[in-house]
Structure 1
Amino acid sequence: MCSLQELPASFCKLASIQKLWLSQNAFTTLPPEISNLEELQWLWLNDNRLQGLPSEIGMLTKIQKLWLNFNQIQTLPREIACLHQLSWLDLSDNLLTEAPDELSSLKNLTRLDLHSNKIRSLNPKVCAALDKVTRLSLHSNDMEYVPEEIGNMTALTWLSLNSNKLKHLPKSIGNLTKLERLAVHINELQDVPEEIGNLVHVESLSLHKNKDLLFLPRSIGNLHSVKRLSIHECGLCSLPAEIGMLSSLVELWLRCNQLESLPNEISNLRSLQRLWLDHNRLTCVPSGIGSMDMLQELYLDENQLTSVPQELVNCKSLRKLFLTGNPKLITTPEIEELTKRGITRPTFF
């Protein structure tokens, strides 16, 4: 960290330089002479006080990676469209209110970071054009909808839409069949489209903290690769039986919903290691849970349980069982057995 107020003129004479670190300074502008750096490929300008970029930035036609995050940029110059070799563009943590049309000219982009701005909607033209992007971060903006054109970004493997104001997801989300991670938590989702079931390579899906989300589509059962599924702090009243088809699931977060019962098929989750069901309205748990050989942690506290299935003692890997806050729960031989094994304690219930 140098805390330079402006870029020294001598830097702009380094015509052959390929990588330049200028992060963590106090630049508010860049000189037009930056265009002299014709061989530049990687440029770090993050953590400055830039309010914009000079039009001459378009002269850096060999640049491949550009970090502009943590500045105060409100708009981009039209000349940004000339950076045809750009593969990585980080504009996160700025003051952008839109993704301008010019970004659609950056055909070689594979990573685009736009999170933590003030973007209200995603530009359909940009979505339609950037079909090589594999990682797109849009979380922590002010977005109220996602255009159907996002379905054209079929190379995506990582998509973050969390911490916005989304009420729905477009059906075209189902076109993104290469997705491995999808984050849409902390929104205002009212439903999840059936097309979510096309995302057969997703390993992590976060839907939590969407308080108006009451149901899941049956197609959720098609997500055979998902390992971590978080749907806590929503308004779920029930689960589809198809949830038992998630054969790779390791962690399932369902805490703080309105669940009164569970489908018997949940016992088919043979790879599950941690299951959060606390703070619901459950009165019982399927007996088949005893066949979940990989289950290590089971959170059932703050429900309406009157008993736990005797089959729980058959869970070979069970190490933690939380039962506190179930006032009607009766101590049974099974609970006593689990207590002896140090899995749960009488003070928990």
Structure 2
Amino acid sequence: MAAARRARAGGGGSGPRFGRAAEPEPAVPQGLLRLARRSGQLNLAGRGLSHVPEHVWRINVDPPEEAQQNLSFGAADRWWEQTDLTKLILASNKLQELSEDVKLLPALSTLDVHDNQLTSLPSALGQLENLQKLDVSHNQLRSLPEELLQLPRLRSLLVQHNQLSQLPEGLGQLLSLEELDVSNNQLTAIPSSFALLVNLVRLNLACNQLKELPADLSAMKSLRQLDCTKNYLETVPPKLASMASLEQLYLRKNKLRSLPEFPSCKFLKELHAGENQIEMLNAENLKQLSSLCVLELRDNKIKAVPEEITVLQKLERLDLANNDISRLPYTLGNLPQLKFLALEGNPLRTIRRDLLQKGTQELLKYLRSKIQDDGPGPNEESPVTAMTLPSQSKVNIHAITTLKLLEYSDKQAAEIPEAVFDAVASNAVTTVNFSKNQLRDIPPRYLGSFPTGICSRAFVSSIPELCVSCCFSFFHNRNNVLTALPEEMEALKKLHTINLAFNRFKVFPSVLYHLPALETILLSNNQVGSIDPVQLKGLDKLGTLDLQNNDLLQVPPELGNCENLRSLLLEGNPFRTPRAAVLAKGTAALLEYLRSRIPS
């Protein structure tokens, strides 16, 4: 009878299944099973299985097939001395469910079924008392069974990239848990019982819909890494500062308007808070972060760096790219451990652009050299001179003539005063910053007059058709409400970088297909629903294409023919293929995968 059951389950039977015209399931090689009986480990990843053969679940219950034969066994093949299965890997198959027969493997310590099509988990998992690691990530789970809470030895629970809208209220019963990853789900709240997870070391809550964190998380005395990237957090409970073991805190892509107020967080080593709405660095907050080695604040709205930043004596990496910083404190050059300083994308007035390009050490050396200068301090206003325009405009003439920079940002202006353009009538500026205003269009005089320009984060809804300059090489218009680009932009034959992230494009701007010099297209966080791979292939210089967080329902395989792409970013779109595991392998592997899917 046992042999008949194994034959029906596909475990070595040579004939087809009765009553089925479909192709038989891929068989599990008997050699693998023999090896598993000796080692206690069975790896069936990537075998195209739509279900797990019954004899896999019964590997330690039924005698093996060779036991039915009249054979002599060597010491290595004594099946009756087999080892109980402790590790079972079923990843990257086509499984839609797991059998309740999983309870027949009570010795399992690791069960890996990530990257399948599971919509639920069997309640029998609760009987695996020895289970220490459960990986059910990259499936389609909508809930977790309450029986999971009966696993006393579970140390690692990975459920990222599913469709969970809530977690079991009693999850705190898993007292042995050291790693919990629930990222990339649809969670709106965290169970209060999380406070009981006192042995948790790593907690990943990224890419959910959390609007707040419970202050009770501070009870996690062992937590070293907390990732809350890409949620809807506006504040962080100050009580989290009492987490004595916390070393890494990720708060990127939220809605923070200021750095967390941590009154006593002296052990935090890394704070990542980029892509928020932070406008000011509070000097008192910085003083409480004396152990920081990494401070990442790129893509915010920071206007100034306080002198007190020098209290961060252990700081090794400081990322302030893409903010609104116009001046730096010269004492920044005295930070003894600083090895990396990112400042690109700021309207700096006192530092030449070529100096920024020389690297961190040269920049720090320059800042130190300026500390003893007699001129106005880095945070002081420039004196008014005969060359100063009316206060309404506040245009820095020195910046125009020396740095070729026209600065008129953060004025909340509905239009740019004529006096601003008059200031550059006889000067060829190369960079223009009209960011953070309330412009509803880009002034014709601006786009028609200057050889290159940058105009980012202005509240722009349209671009006048007659206002383009064929000498543009950089065009930055992120964080606006643009929905279309004029066809006249086809004249921008020298344009090689365009940044249209965080706008409202629903279709890929067709004019971009006709700009042969384009090297970089940044179109993330829009609503683009499709792209034309054939026209993209015509852009033979295109090396970077960022389409993250759009509405692409499918990725055309022909995109794989764009072999010049060095960076293709597609995360955060609702397409089902390619899967996240393919995206994670990088651009080269992704392009190869797409080419393999092109119909012959």
Separation in 1, partners of 2:368, 2:313 = 24
Q: 2:338 aligns with which of 229, 246, 249?
A: 249
- SS where residue 215 of structure 1 aligns? coil
Equivalent residue for 1:288, pick from 347, 369, 384: 369
Deviation at residue 305 of structure 1 after TM alignment: 6.8
Match of 1:42 in 2: 133
Distance verdict in 2 for CA 1:249–1:52, change over 3 Å: same
CA distance in 1, matches of 2:258, 2:345: 22
Post-superposition offset of 1:216: 2.2
Q: Which residue of 2 aligns with 1:306?
A: 402
Which range moved further: 253-262 or 82-91? Answer: 253-262
Deviations 1:175-217 (A, max 9, x none): 2222222111100012222222332332221111112x11223
Q: What residue in structure 1 maps to residue 278 of structure 2?
A: 189
Q: Distance in 2 between matches of 1:287 and 1:169?
A: 27
What corresponds to 2:253 in structure 1?
163
> Which structure is richer in relative contact order (CA contacts within 8 A, separation 6 or more)?
1
Q: Offset at 1:81? A: 1.6
In structure 1, C-alpha distance between the alignment counterparts of 2:368 and 2:216, rounded to whole Å: 52
Q: Partner amino acid for 2:243?
A: M
Aligned residue in 1 for 2:265: 176
Tell me what 1:75 maps to: 166
**Which of residues 121, 137, 140 in structure 1 aligns to 2:230?**
140
Structure 1 position 18, deviation (Å): 0.7
- Give the whole-Å Cα distance in 2 for the aligned partners of 1:215 and 1:18: 52
The secondary structure found in structure 1 opposite 2:170 is helix
TM-score, normalised relative to structure 1: 0.74
Q: Report which stretch shifted further, 162-171 or 83-92.
A: 162-171
Distance 1:163 1:237, change over 3 A: same
- Displacement of 1:238 in angstroms is 2.2
Alpha-carbon contact 1:83-1:106 (below 8 Å) kept:
yes
Q: Percent identity?
A: 30
**1:239 positional shift:** 2.0
Identify the residue that residue 5 of structure 1 maps to in structure 2.
96
Does the Cα contact within 8 Å between 2:188 and 2:211 map onto a contact in 1?
yes
Residues 219 and 242 in structure 1, CA contact (< 8 A), matched pair in contact too: no
Establish whether residue 222 from structure 1 lines up as the match of residue 222 from structure 2: no
C-alpha offsets along residues 17-55 of structure 1, whole Å, 9 cap, x if unaligned? Answer: 111111111111112111111110111111111111111
Counterparts of 2:362 and 2:119, CA distance in 1? 49
Partner of 2:149: 58
TM-score normalised according to structure 2 size: 0.44
How much has 1:12 moved relative to structure 2? 2.4
Alpha-carbon separation, structure 2, partners of 1:286 and 1:242: 7
On the 8 A contact 1:111/1:136 being kept in 2, the answer is yes
Distance in structure 1 (CA, Å) of the matches to 2:309 and 2:331:
7
* SS of aligned partner of 1:78: coil
Rounded to whole Å, the distance in 2 between the matches of 1:102 and 1:287 is 51
Shift of 1:162: 0.8
Partner SS, residue 175 of structure 1: coil
**Partner of 1:31 in structure 2?**
122
Q: Which runs of 5+ in 1 are unaligned?
A: 277-284, 290-302, 308-323, 328-349
Describe the shift of the 1:218–1:54 C-alpha distance in structure 2 as closer, same or farther (beyond 3 A).
same
Would you say 1:207 and 2:288 are equivalent positions?
no
Kindly report the root-mean-square deviation, in angstroms, between the aligned alpha carbons of the 2 structures.
2.7
Is contact 1:232-1:254 (8 Å) kept?
A: yes
Q: Secondary structure at the match of 1:202?
A: coil
Distance (Å, rounded) in 2 between the aligned partners of 1:84 and 1:122: 20
Instruction: Write the letter of the residue equivalent to 2:95.
Output: L
Q: Does 1:90 align with 2:186?
A: no
Counterpart for residue 220 of structure 2? 130
Q: Secondary structure at the match of 2:180?
A: strand
The equivalent residue for 1:335 is none
Instruction: State the alpha-carbon separation in 1 of the partners of residues 401 and 150 from structure 2.
Output: 68
